[in-house]
Chains A and B, each alone.
Chain A
Amino acid sequence: MNSYRAIGFLFGITFGVIVSIFILRAFNKNRSIRTEYDEMQKQARGEAYMYGFYAMILFEFLTMLTEFFQPIPAEPLVIHFTAIMIGVTVQAVYSIMHDAFIGLNTQKNRYLIIMAVIAVINFAVAFAAFKDGRMIENGVLMAPFCNLMVGIAFLIIGLAGWIRTTEGKEEKE
């Protein structure tokens, strides 16, 4: 049963990577997979990756510490995926607040729509799993919780983007 789940998870990740490549090609102006950033954005993104990495390490350390005293009622997959999503969210929010999230060749509106769609899909999957009782089994958080994490992460990223856009409008010119 575990190997079936592992194969399913791997399939999901592979599917996600393939979809991401198509999405990157769709929202970059020159149909490039590579998003281009200028020198200030590259510097800010370097700092963003640093803080994202620290956040991920801190979360892993805290969960490890907690496990010494009391087992966390969640699958290991959920815990490690949550760590990844925390790192990604910190990196993204820091980049957004320093105008280094949207690249020079990114079609901003198309990109925001795609992100919103991904968030909605993940919330829908999480909601369906919660309704069917697949998210929490015997008091333990199961894999569908990862969808909820992705939805929440995208929501936070979207919120940060909206705040920065509002600030940017005020300081423009």
Chain B
Amino acid sequence: MKNLRLKAARAGLDLSQSELAEAVGVSRQTISAIEKGDYNPTINLCIRICRVLGKTLDELFWYDESIQD
């Protein structure tokens, strides 16, 4: 499942995938894979991403089954 909320939050701060990747200490490809839904990050990486983007885990990574992105 694509993570459009992550993409939107990143774009909202005017960050490129590379900039976010550098800020959280992963490769650009990893951020791209998370946004495309090809990779499920560990909770530690989720927290690092949330801190950089100023969002909560719920806002970026919690999926309510009744809501589809």
Q: Nearest chain B CB to A121's CB is how many angstroms away?
A: 30
| CB pair B26 A104 closer than 8 Å | yes
Q: Give the total number of A-B pairs whose CB atoms are below 8 A apart.
A: 33
* Cα–Cα distance between A40 and B27 once the two chains are bound (Å): 9
Kindly list chain B residues whose C-beta atoms are within 8 Å of the C-beta of A40.
26-27, 29-30, 33, 39, 41
B3 within 8 A of A: no
- Closest A residue to B27 by beta carbon equals A38
Q: Decide: A39 near B45, CB < 8 A? Known: A104-B25, A168-B29, A172-B32.
A: yes
- Closest A residue to B25 by beta carbon equals A38
- Closest B residue to A102 by beta carbon equals B27
| CB pair A173 B16 closer than 8 Å | yes
B42 within 8 A of A: yes
Report which of A39, A41, A99, A104 forms a contact with B42, defined as CB distance below 8 A.
A39
Q: Decide: A39 near B32, CB < 8 A? Known: A99-B27, A104-B25.
A: no
Contacts of B25-69 to chain A: CB distance below 8 A: 25-30, 32-33, 39, 41-42, 44-45
Report which of B17, B30, B44 forms a contact with A173, defined as CB distance below 8 A.
B17
Kindly list chain A residues whose C-beta atoms are within 8 Å of the C-beta of B27.
38, 40-41, 99, 104
A171 within 8 A of B: yes
Kindly list chain A residues whose C-beta atoms are within 8 Å of the C-beta of B26.
38-40, 104
| CB pair A41 B30 closer than 8 Å | yes
Kindly list chain A residues whose C-beta atoms are within 8 Å of the C-beta of B33.
40, 99
| CB pair B32 A171 closer than 8 Å | yes
Apart from A40-B33, A104-B25: 17 A-B pairs, beta carbons within 8 A: A38-B25, A38-B26, A38-B30, A39-B26, A39-B41, A39-B42, A39-B45, A40-B27, A40-B29, A40-B30, A40-B39, A40-B41, A168-B29, A171-B32, A172-B17, A172-B28, A173-B16
